[in-house]
Structure 1
Amino acid sequence: MTKTTTEVKVLVVDDEPQIVRALRINLSVHGYEVITAATGADALRAAADEHPDVVLLDLGLPDVDGIEVLAGLRGWTSVPVIVLSARTGSADKVEAFDAGADDYVTKPFGMGELLARLRAAVRRGAAVTSDSVVVTASLSIDLAAKKVIKDGDTVRLTPTEWGILEMLLRNNGKLVGRRDLLREVWGPSHESETQYLRVYMAQLRRKLEVDPSHPKHLLTEAGMGYRFQR
């Protein structure tokens, strides 16, 4: 079911104070909850902590290019992303869409048009998140509520364990590379430290698998990475 605007959380990522202020005022007036970030690093952190329903993303950020932020988001979430950018070239738009943008609005923009695009993005996001519960014979995993039930009992996961599981579930059935997991959960400086993954995957299997020594869901692809299989 589509959320009302009072339930919709929007993450605004822009380093221009005037634009952030204008967006905060206008979106708040229309009932949206607004979170802001001025850098790419803050944006990724806010997305992970706050779980926004839509992201409005500027490409010209002071620390990293917005395309990198978009790629980082797409590593673990399908949240709708509307790019807001002064870049008007077709190549810039193609690059953004290839990286996973849902829409592209050039600056300056009219608030009426942006609100219409925002409503459309919320509708698309609602269709995606309706499948946020993954169910197997013994497990029920609710991505939105961050809740795991195994054979009727709640399973408590650490934030790191949840981060790994969530990324695998967002790529349900697909191989997720070790470096991608390490970069997403621990950060870029830990990409080569695969021992972390082995330890945490063993912990997850003990908590989630019926027979941890013969896992059915948390599968290892030797030398490559991991996948979640229903």
Structure 2
Amino acid sequence: MTTGRIHSIETCGTVDGPGLRFVVFTQGCPLRCLYCHNPDCRHPEDGRMVTVDELIQEIKKYRSYLRRGGVTVSGGEPLMQPEFVGEIFRRCHELGLHTALDTSGYVLLDHAKPVVAQADLVLLDIKSYDPDLYQRVTHVSLEPTLRFAQYLAEIGKPTWIRFVLVPGLTDPAANVDGLAQFVATLPNVERVEVLPFHQMGAYKWEQLGYDYALKDTPPASAELVQTTRDRFIAQGVTVV
């Protein structure tokens, strides 16, 4: 019986893939993003242990409306638990449900491939394109994520790129242009989502006793968001 650790579930998600989604947030993440809105997902030993059978039974309760959406596994980092996530997706396909994987791409590619094969869509978060800035934002290397993105392109896997726009951090023109130019080389990318930074997860950092470095960072302005969107559009990329 396949088991894994999850943080929580959301039964009516609207932002993690097409349509209404049943979202499973897995426990554990190798990144330490400065703006993480789920810092309580970082430690793999936390959360609760569940079986795939238990999750599928819960998913079946919402099956009727999920037919116009599907199931997304997010995190944390789902690819830290590849067998667990792959089995969730396999069972969802037996129910005729669309599957989406929300990942940072910071993984060993061989471990990820079987999971990607079971995903109908990959939501790939690329935090920055400048390697030094990526390291500053996430505390890990950019290279595995770029390699993962290129693999998705090689196999033609439908992919949405997500980029969090943080004023004074990820917004330099060279950083955005570099990412836009890279994404433009990936024919499998259906769209880019520019996600404005917000402070909604700040309270979690405080509750956990973590030092939140972005507590004084303002939300991205509408003007900055549009300018950033325009930089992607200039490279021929579809932006939402």
TM-score (norm 1): 0.31
Larger RCO: 1 or 2 (CA < 8 Å, sep 6+): 2
Q: TM-score, normalised by structure 2?
A: 0.30
Structure with larger Rg: 1
Q: Per residue, is there more helix in 1 or in 2?
A: 1
